[in-house]
Amino acid sequence: MGFKMGIVGLPNVGKSTLFNALTRTAAAQAANFPFCTIEPNVGEVAVPDARLDTLADIAKSKQIIPTRMTFVDIAGLVKGASKGEGLGNQFLANIREVDAIAHVLRCFDDGDVTHVEGRVDPVADAETIETELMLADIESIEKRLQTIVRKVRGGDKEAVQQERLMKAALAALEQGKPARVVEVDDEDAKAWTMLQLLTTKPVLYVCNVGEAEAAEGNEHSAKVAEMAAAEGNAHVIISAQIEEEISQLEPEEAAMFLEEMGLAEAGLDRLIRAGYDLLHLETYFTVGPKEARAWTIRTGTSAPKAAGVIHGDFEKGFIRAETIAYDDFVSLGGEQAAKEAGKMRAEGKSYVVKDGDVLHFLFNT
């Protein structure tokens, strides 16, 4: 399982440039005018994980298959998007389909790049986008509350539950707060997700800074960091221009370029890690002579559910999971040595998979 992250922001903040860099393509046209992205561009990228290469080297795997992440480049929102301004309705519908939102915020000064509001203020930009998403949610909820009135009066349990959740969301939204601040019980979690409210999506602020500020950020990104902390959201500092340049280089050249810029790693790596943390994701591995492969699961996933990520039959017929911790696999030099050292464990249906576990599933067909 991977996840889908929507890249949103006002026009000309660097969304398409970042998307091009992330997907190592020029699929999204990066042009200096609003709405150059008319249709959402979708790209998949491999999730970099040095552990996978290490495991493959030890097991002498013929093929390395990383887990993947999907990015959706959604065209620029503007004030009034919730009412259809710009190309608002289309873009808001695209946002409903993603698991998380990356707000790309312009944190660079460049007179040659037009800002739709004629100024550089990333906090105000974030508020503009959040406001449009909240207004769209309010309108959606008000319409849906009207359509379920009869069912609620008739005592339909599902409708009663939906009404209660929508009213809780509406109360927060009318106070100027996103729906994600509403605390939802486990029994309501599925129904809450089915509401598909835009402001329930986890948010990651992406501060797009100039090349010279990629390592430490600047006063603009510092304000975003303060805002994110106050909201309980995450943020990362990236220079989309640097990422695009790196994407055109060979790995060795890219490493040298990063070192020259004073960067320990590519912004993509930071962005993916932040995305993983945002959605509470982790990785487990399957390793053998044929292939070494990474799989993404949510934190707290049981062994049968983790097996189901590979194939539904693995979950249905789950017997047990032969498990080796990553550190043991590496320090002992592989599966056989780990087994001989007593570091391979047989785990049952109640086992919660840990990040980095090397697993082999046994199941009934």
Question: Is residue 13 annotated as involved in ligand binding?
Answer: yes
Question: Is residue 12 annotated as involved in ligand binding?
Answer: yes
Cα separation, 363 vs 365, whole angstroms:
7
Q: Phi then psi for 199, rounded to 5 degrees?
A: -85, 10
Cα separation, 189 vs 309, whole angstroms:
21
Q: Which residues pair with 206 in a beta bridge?
A: 104, 236
Alpha helix (H) residue ranges in the chain: 15-23, 50-59, 88-96, 122-147, 149-153, 157-174, 189-194, 219-231, 240-247, 251-260, 267-279, 303-310, 312-316, 326-332, 335-340
Q: Phi then psi for 98, rounded to 5 degrees?
A: -100, 160
Cα 154 to the chain's mean position, in Å? 40
Tokens of 197: 């409210």
Question: Is residue 16 annotated as involved in ligand binding?
Answer: yes
Q: Which residues pair with 101 in a beta bridge?
A: 6, 203
Tokens of 342: 């007593």
Tokens of 272: 């993916």
Q: How many helices (H) and strands (E) does the chain have?
A: 15, 12
Number of residues assigned to the chain: 365
Give the angle subtended at the CA of 26 by the CAs of 25 and 32, to the nearest 5°: 145
Tokens of 352: 């919660």
Question: Is residue 14 annotated as involved in ligand binding?
Answer: yes
Per the CB < 8 A criterion, the answer to whether 98 and 202 are in contact is: no
User: Which of 145, 107, 150 shows the shortest CA–CA distance to 126?
Assistant: 107
Sign of the torsion angle spanned by Cα atoms 243, 244, 250, 252: negative
Coil, helix or strand for 104?
Answer: strand
Annotated binding site: 12-17
Annotated binding site for ATP: 12-17
